């Protein structure tokens, strides 16, 4: 869809036409793809590691498990991918969900609470029920947000802010302020190894694939984009926008809950304070890096995955270079701003001297203002 | 009146928007001590011209002279500082601030940086009293109805030492008495030498208060007259423009047919009885039969769009009953109406029609898909077939379903929206100003389409500001004025433009 | 040309004839949330008094401590009030406070800079940070929440760049300032921080209600487009608003340092939410344009009283504070929605 416009983007250099310009035009065409820069950053970050970690790209097998730097990054990134995917749909409806971090904590503690209070912690049914409870908690949180945004018409930032504030408190309430430690082999399996692969990778991959199927094989994706692109026009075209938004928030809650299960199962403990901390920020960053506009409309699940991988690799690289973990935030804050600036039409015209939008093979330029 | 040198002189003003040339070499002169009407239908370029004159937008070409000196207005504040004061169509005040603050913001009396509230309110009260307005200046603006807010806006504009006062449809929310008061004030200001540019859709008002007029159509000036030189009929003709000769045959076709239609006892597809909405449109009765084109004529703000929105469930009626196929229905949302085979193309393509970030393909399929629900997607094959079929049938250009809809020209956007609805095979299609702001060729195509669709048995409601167009295409003609449906006639050779025009202009049903 | 002289022969206006009846307008009144908050505060206080009478809840110091223990929150919330009134939002408040504590502690304790030099420097950095965010928001038309979110990241990260671990301050000047008390009648006292926060509050009341800048902030929040058409310098005002917020955050950071006498990279984590909650509970519309700084004080006091009550209760744990804050925030947002619906 986005590639259409690039067909003739070389025309602006045609006047000074030379073969060198053609290569330049081709490069520019590639560079204008929305995933070009995130991909370049990802590859660049990986290469940075190569001198200090020569076997950075190698993946081995140890005790029947895959291991290697890349695998570690994937394990670390899986919950963030989950949150990012859910957030992508919410942002596509031109909304936002600031409560994902809190929902991660609620779902995780709720599940662990169940396991601790079960008669037999190790039973498979215990783990399944716990997972069910965690996911149900996530769905409930999503429905709560959706209710206030879609039905009551409260601004998304505000509606989800309340759950962001109160949610951590709720999580602490469930855990009675303590870190809940579970001792359940079956629960640990949720975030453990499934065959040679860590479960997180498989779960994240499954959710990503399912989401893509759910949105692109049905009409859900298009209707979400329609609502996010122009809510009133969508309503007048008969789209039941309330339901669509509700669905997006519930799905986001579900994804956050899955991330919560993964995190707590991984460590066999639930820390209401720190579980999912900063996840709303990582999630938004991943979505923005992936080329989905915060204003809503077009969304790109694959882009979000790439965005989350960039963040995961960045964190991993900084860690490997011995940079204190908190200063990752400085880099991430910088990245958010740079990405947003690059996406701002005003910045493009004023500072970069680029025409807003891409040129297209139609007589009229994009309508931006009437 | 002698011809003194103009206060405000705009020459060769051109403004190009991506899809349309809003102003094309417009010359506009405003003399000191005159009330000058700026006229034209929607899309004629009035708003853009005013935006250019007040610094909201900059023109692409042309010069503005104020008192003979060339000026540039990069921002509204610059125009204001130069002595151009404006009251906009919508109340552009801050509803949360007090009346006094709204009148004097930016000019608050201060002492050592501290606002002197007593003095501020005294000054404001004085200004308000001079206008004979009975408001508490310390109350927040939004405590008052819109009409009062509009008057406050006018007080604010008049309170500046303005050389030029631009009033952009200030009367749409005022009642008769308030209008009279406004006119008194305008005359007083004129006599003091202020040049007033007055935009209105109420033709009577022009004859009541204005001295000269400039008429715009399609971004060009089509006439500059003394009000005394041009009668109402002539003015409407100037605003609406001449018809296209090539489409005359359509008219004959429709008119010979319409007699049969009205005599047909076919049951009404849609029947409205006493349907209305407070503040939108007064209760009206209406019937549309299969294969019938119901044309609605009336000036902007006459309630034609409001009427259409009620029939589509875009707004909810608060009185009357609506029956579809003889069955009483309540339309709570557009989706309800669509379920019953009703479709609606909004006049505001950009805000209420198009989803610019989606492709042509997605935009076309949207309504059909929405009706099916997200769980049952239209298969890719069926979708592509339908889309390419309609792109060809309606000649949408570029004929590339992957282009983003926001990048089509106005006419193609309109055709795209038509395609969106035609795919759903509606039984009643409501078209609100489908030919506005699009080029002549596209206009003719859409008109032909309306005729052929009605021949196939589709019921239509066709709304247009262009009277000729309505008369040409409709079997039945309804006229709206002041938010009321004042007349409905069966169309026929005996129904002349003059009769309709005089009803639009006077509201009297002859 | 002279100002148009208008005829004064018209009948003088009957005062407030068009003004809606007071009683009927109560639900539409902009002050309603403030009244509700005030009533809530009184009810909570009476409830606490009757329950913990024997635990000296009735002493004046309990009330004075509301100011002492929440002085930094008050200053931060005052800054947030400016931003929210203008129709924006600032999520970087907590990080800015954390950064200021860290910077102050580092410069005073490790580098032995005089406090008198460090304090203005911290304030200047805060104001500059706010101004920069305001500039980006205005100049490039990026949503405030994302820009200030980036600010949140940046300043939190800068904390650790200053110093990895928490720094205890033992500097004499700081300790003396922290212990400085102002005696009030009735055997109560206020700390220096509490007094300074009240000074900031008074300044904010003056600026918002009695200067052109303050009224521009309201105009901006009422309708930005209208404000622009009315000739309000929108860009300058917007940048100034974020500058004020940055300044207030840094100021709150200094008070926090004084209160806790240390710098820590995790100080004031999530405090922006408390500040925003205080502003909303204090009756300021989140959509901007309506509200009072004094309402914000009430909001801070209510949040403070919740904390006090929970600590008096003893058996209730601290997380109830968060839940109660969130619930109150939600209740007031819904109240705003209902009022907006009534108005229309």
User: Testing the interface with C: which of B74, B85, B96 to mutate, by most C Cβ within 10 A?
Assistant: B96
DSSP 8-state secondary structure symbol assigned to residue C266: T
Which residues pair with residue B214 across a beta bridge? B38, B224
Average pLDDT for B209-226:
89
Quote the pLDDT of residue A365: 32
CB count within 10 Å of CB A124 equals: 13
- Give burial (CB, 10 Å; 0-12/13-18/19+) of B181: middle
Quote the pLDDT of residue B241: 64
Average per-residue pLDDT in chain B?
Answer: 84
H helix runs in A197-327, sequence order: 199-216, 220-229, 231-236, 241-267, 279-289, 301-320
**Does residue B270 have a pLDDT over 80?**
yes
Quote the pLDDT of residue C28: 56
Quote the pLDDT of residue A130: 94
Task: Tell me the nearest-neighbour CA distance from B233 into chain C, angstroms.
Answer: 35
Whether the Cβ atoms of residue B460 and residue B429 lie closer than 8 Å to each other: yes
Q: Which of B392, B387, B320, B393 is nearest to B360 (CA)?
A: B387
Contact B130 C8 (CB under 8 A): yes
Which residues pair with residue B64 across a beta bridge? B10, B71
Q: What is the pLDDT of residues A88-102, one digit of tens each?
A: 999 999 999 999 999
Is the pTM for the entire model greater than 0.90? no
**Domain C63-335 adopts which CATH fold?**
ABC transporter involved in vitamin B12 uptake, BtuC (1.10.3470)
**Nearby residues of A162 by Cβ (< 8 Å), 6 or more positions away:** C326, C327, C329, C330, C333
Which residues pair with residue B461 across a beta bridge? B294, B430
Q: What is the pLDDT of residues A55-73, one digit of tens each?
A: 888 888 888 888 888 888 9
Domains and CATH numbers, chain A: 19-320 (1.10.3470)
Task: Tell me the nearest-neighbour CA distance from C136 into chain A, angstroms.
Answer: 8
Instruction: Using CB atoms, list chains with 3+ pairs below 8 Å to chain B.
Output: A, C
3-state secondary structure of C183: strand
Chain C residues touching B105 at Cβ < 8 A: 215-216, 219, 230-232
**Does residue A29 have a pLDDT over 90?**
no
| Segments in chain C below pLDDT 70 | 1-29, 342-344
Quote the pLDDT of residue A110: 95
- Beta-sheet pairing, B484-490 with B476-481: antiparallel
Grade residue B20 by pLDDT with cuts at 50, 70 and 90.
low
Counting Cα atoms < 13 Å in the Cβ hemisphere of A228 gives 29
Quote the pLDDT of residue B196: 93
Whether the Cβ atoms of residue B275 and residue B286 lie closer than 8 Å to each other: yes
Quote the pLDDT of residue A13: 40
Quote the pLDDT of residue A326: 66
3-state secondary structure of B389: helix
Whether the Cβ atoms of residue B469 and residue B440 lie closer than 8 Å to each other: no
User: Testing the interface with C: which of B33, B50, B94 to mutate, by most C Cβ within 10 A?
Assistant: B94
How far is the C-alpha of B401 from the C-alpha of B379, rounded, in Å? 16
First vs last C-alpha separation in chain C: 41
CA dist C103 → B420, C155, C261 (Å): 60, 11, 12
Whether chain B has a CB inside 8 Å of the CB on C181: the answer is no
Contact A217 B407 (CB under 8 A): no
Of B93, B108, B128, Cβ closest to residue C13? B128
Quote the pLDDT of residue B245: 41
Helices and strands of chain B, counted as H and E runs: 18, 22
How far is the C-alpha of B65 from the C-alpha of B69, rounded, in Å? 5
Q: Highest mean pLDDT range out of B54-58, B151-155, B195-199?
A: B195-199
Q: What Rg, from alpha-carbon coordinates, does chain C have?
A: 22
Quote the pLDDT of residue C67: 94
Chain A residues touching B377 at Cβ < 8 A: 217-219
Query: Domain residues of chain C, as ranges?
Result: 63-335
C100 vs B301, more confident = C100
Tokens describing residue C18: 């068009």
Q: What is the pLDDT of residues B123-153, one digit of tens each?
A: 999 988 887 788 899 988 888 877 788 888 8
Q: What is the pLDDT of residues B432-443, one digit of tens each?
A: 988 876 766 777
Q: Is the ipTM of this complex over 0.90?
A: no
Tokens describing residue A336: 């958010």
Grade residue A280 by pLDDT with cuts at 50, 70 and 90.
confident
Nearest CA in chain B to C3: B161
Average pLDDT for B444-472:
87
Which residues pair with residue B110 across a beta bridge? B115
**Does residue B39 have a pLDDT over 90?**
no
Whether the Cβ atoms of residue A304 and residue A290 lie closer than 8 Å to each other: yes
Q: What is the pLDDT of residues B315-372, one digit of tens each?
A: 999 899 999 988 999 999 999 999 999 999 998 888 899 998 899 999 999 999 999 9
Quote the pLDDT of residue A360: 34
Grade residue A342 by pLDDT with cuts at 50, 70 and 90.
confident
Nearest CA in chain A to B17: A370
Q: Which of C66, C143, C133, C142 is nearest to C93 (CA)?
A: C133
Q: How far does CA B187 lie from the centroid of its chain?
A: 27
How far is the C-alpha of A234 from the C-alpha of A239, rounded, in Å? 5
Grade residue B394 by pLDDT with cuts at 50, 70 and 90.
confident
Q: Highest mean pLDDT range out of A326-330, B37-41, C237-241?
A: C237-241
How far is the C-alpha of B67 from the C-alpha of B9, rounded, in Å? 8
Nearest CA in chain A to B349: A233
How far is the C-alpha of C171 from the C-alpha of C106, rounded, in Å? 11
Quote the pLDDT of residue B35: 94
């Amino acid at each position: 869809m986005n590639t259409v416009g690039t067909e003739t983007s070389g025309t602006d250099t045609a006047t000074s036409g030379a073969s060198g310009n053609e290569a330049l035009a081709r490069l520019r065409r590639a560079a204008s793809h929305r995933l070009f820069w995130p991909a370049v950053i990802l590859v660049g970050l990986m290469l940075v590691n190569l001198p200090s970690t020569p076997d950075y790209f190698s993946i081995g097998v140890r005790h029947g498990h895959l291991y290697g730097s890349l695998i570690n990054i994937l394990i670390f990134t899986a919950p963030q991918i989950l949150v990012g995917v859910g957030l992508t749909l919410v942002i596509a409806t031109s909304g936002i969900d600031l409560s994902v971090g809190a929902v991660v904590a609620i779902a995780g503690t709720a599940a662990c609470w169940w396991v601790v209070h079960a008669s037999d912690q190790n039973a498979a049914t215990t783990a399944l029920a716990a997972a069910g409870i965690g996911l149900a908690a996530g769905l409930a949180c999503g429905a709560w947000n959706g209710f206030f945004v879609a039905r009551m018409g409260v601004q998304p930032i505000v509606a989800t802010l309340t759950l962001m504030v109160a949610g951590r408190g709720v999580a602490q309430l469930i855990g009675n302020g303590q870190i809940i430690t579970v001792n359940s082999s079956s629960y640990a399996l949720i975030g453990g190894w499934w065959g040679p692969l860590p479960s997180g990778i498989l779960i994240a991959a499954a959710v990503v694939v399912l989401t893509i199927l759910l949105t692109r094989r049905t009409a859900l994706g298009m209707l979400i984009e329609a609502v996010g692109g122009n809510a009133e026009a969508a309503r007048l075209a008969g789209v039941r926008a309330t339901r669509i938004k509700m669905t997006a928030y519930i799905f986001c809650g579900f994804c956050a809950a899955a991330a919560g299960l993964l995190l707590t199962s991984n460590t066999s403990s639930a820390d209401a304070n720190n579980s999912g901390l900063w996840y709303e920020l990582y999630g938004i960053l991943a979505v923005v890096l992936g080329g989905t506009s915060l204003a809503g409309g077009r969304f790109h699940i694959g882009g979000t995955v790439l965005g989350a991988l960039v963040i995961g690799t960045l964190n991993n690289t900084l860690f490997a270079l011995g940079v204190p973990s908190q200063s990752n935030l400085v880099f991430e804050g910088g990245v958010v701003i740079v990405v947003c600036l690059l996406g701002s039409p005003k910045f493009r015209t004023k500072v970069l001297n680029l025409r807003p939008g891409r040129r297209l093979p139609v007589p009229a330029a994009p309508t931006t203002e009437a | 009146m002698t011809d003194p040198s103009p206060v405000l002189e705009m020459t060769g003003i051109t403004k190009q928007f991506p899809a349309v040339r809003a102003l094309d070499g417009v010359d506009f002169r405003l003399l000191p001590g005159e009330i000058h009407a700026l006229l034209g239908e929607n899309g004629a370029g009035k708003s853009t011209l005013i935006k250019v004159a007040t610094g909201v937008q900059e023109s692409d070409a042309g010069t503005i002279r104020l008192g003979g000196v060339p000026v540039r207005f990069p921002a509204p504040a610059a125009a204001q500082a130069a002595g151009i004061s404006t009251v906009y169509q919508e109340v552009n005040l801050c509803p949360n601030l007090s009346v006094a603050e709204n009148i004097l913001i930016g000019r608050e009396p201060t002492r050592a940086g501290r606002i002197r509230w007593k003095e501020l309110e005294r000054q404001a009260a004085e200004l308000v009293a001079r206008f004979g307005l009975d408001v508490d200046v310390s109350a927040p603006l939004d405590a008052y109805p819109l009409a009062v807010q509009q008057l406050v806006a006018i007080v604010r504009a008049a309170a500046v030492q303005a050389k030029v006062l631009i009033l952009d449809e200030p009367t749409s929310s005022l009642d008769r008495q308030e209008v009279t008061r406004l006119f008194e004030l305008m005359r007083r200001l004129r006599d003091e030498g202020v040049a007033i540019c007055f935009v209105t859709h109420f033709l009577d008002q022009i004859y009541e208060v204005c001295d000269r007029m400039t008429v715009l159509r399609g971004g060009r000036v089509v006439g500059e007259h003394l009000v005394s030189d041009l009668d109402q009929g002539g003015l409407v003709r100037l605003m609406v423009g001449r018809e296209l000769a090539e489409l005359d045959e359509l008219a004959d076709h429709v008119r010979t047919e319409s007699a049969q239609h009205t005599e047909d006892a076919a049951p009404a597809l849609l029947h409205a009885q006493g349907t209305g909405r407070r503040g939108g449109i007064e209760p009206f009765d209406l019937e549309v039969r299969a294969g019938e084109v119901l044309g609605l004529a009336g000036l902007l703000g006459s309630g034609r769009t409001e009427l259409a929105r009620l029939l589509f469930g875009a707004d909810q009626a608060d009185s009357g009953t609506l029956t579809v196929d003889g069955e009483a229905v309540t339309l709570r949302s557009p989706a309800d109406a669509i379920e019953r085979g009703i479709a609606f193309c909004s006049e505001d393509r950009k805000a209420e029609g198009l989803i610019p970030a989606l492709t042509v393909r997605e935009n076309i399929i949207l309504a059909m898909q929405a009706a099916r629900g997200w769980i049952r997607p239209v298969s890719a094959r069926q979708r592509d077939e339908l889309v390419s079929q309609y792109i060809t049938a309606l000649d949408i250009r570029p004929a590339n379903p992957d282009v983003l809809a926001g990048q089509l020209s106005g006419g193609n956007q309109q055709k795209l929206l038509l395609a969106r609805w035609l795919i759903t095979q509606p039984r009643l299609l409501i078209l609100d100003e489908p030919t506005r702001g699009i080029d002549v060729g596209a206009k003719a195509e859409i008109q032909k389409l309306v005729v052929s669709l009605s021949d196939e048995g589709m019921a239509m409601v066709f709304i247009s500001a262009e009277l000729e167009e309505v008369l040409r295409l409709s079997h039945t003609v309804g006229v709206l004025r002041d938010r009321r449906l004042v007349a409905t006639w069966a169309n026929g050779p005996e129904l002349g433009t003059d009769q309709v025009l005089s009803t639009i202009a006077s509201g009297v049903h002859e | 040309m002279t100002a148009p002289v208008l005829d004064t022969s018209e009948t003088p206006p009957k005062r407030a004839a068009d003004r809606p009846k007071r009683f009927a307008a109560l639900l539409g009144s902009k002050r309603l949330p403030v009244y509700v908050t005030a009533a809530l505060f009184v009810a909570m206080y009476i409830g606490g008094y009757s329950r913990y009478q024997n635990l000296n809840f009735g002493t004046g110091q309990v009330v004075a401590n509301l100011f002492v223990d929440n002085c930094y929150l008050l200053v931060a919330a005052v800054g947030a009030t400016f931003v929210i009134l203008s129709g924006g939002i600032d999520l970087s408040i907590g990080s800015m406070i954390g950064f200021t504590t860290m910077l102050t502690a580092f410069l005073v304790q490790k580098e032995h800079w005089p406090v008198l030099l460090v304090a203005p420097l911290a304030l200047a950095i805060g104001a500059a940070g706010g101004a920069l965010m305001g500039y980006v928001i205005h100049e490039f038309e990026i949503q405030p929440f994302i820009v200030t979110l980036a600010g949140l990241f940046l300043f939190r990260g800068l904390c650790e760049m200053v110093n990895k671990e928490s720094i205890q301050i033992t500097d004499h000047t700081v300790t003396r300032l922290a212990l400085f008390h102002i005696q009030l009648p009735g055997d109560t006292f206020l700390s220096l921080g509490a007094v300074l926060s009240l000074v900031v509050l008074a300044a904010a009341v003056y600026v918002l209600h009695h200067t052109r800048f303050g009224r521009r902030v309201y105009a901006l929040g009422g309708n930005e487009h209208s404000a622009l058409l009315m000739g309000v310098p929108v860009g300058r005002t917007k940048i100034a608003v974020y500058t004020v917020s940055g300044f207030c955050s840094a100021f709150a950071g200094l008070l926090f340092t004084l209160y806790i006498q240390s710098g820590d990279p995790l100080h004031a984590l999530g405090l922006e939410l408390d500040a925003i909650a205080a502003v909303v509970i204090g009756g300021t519309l989140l959509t901007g344009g309506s509200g009072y700084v004094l309402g914000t004080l009430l909001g801070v006091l209510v949040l403070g009283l919740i904390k006090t009550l929970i600590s008096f209760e003893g058996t209730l744990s601290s997380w109830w504070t968060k839940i109660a804050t969130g619930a109150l925030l939600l209740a007031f947002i819904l109240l705003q929605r209902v009022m907006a619906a009534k108005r229309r």
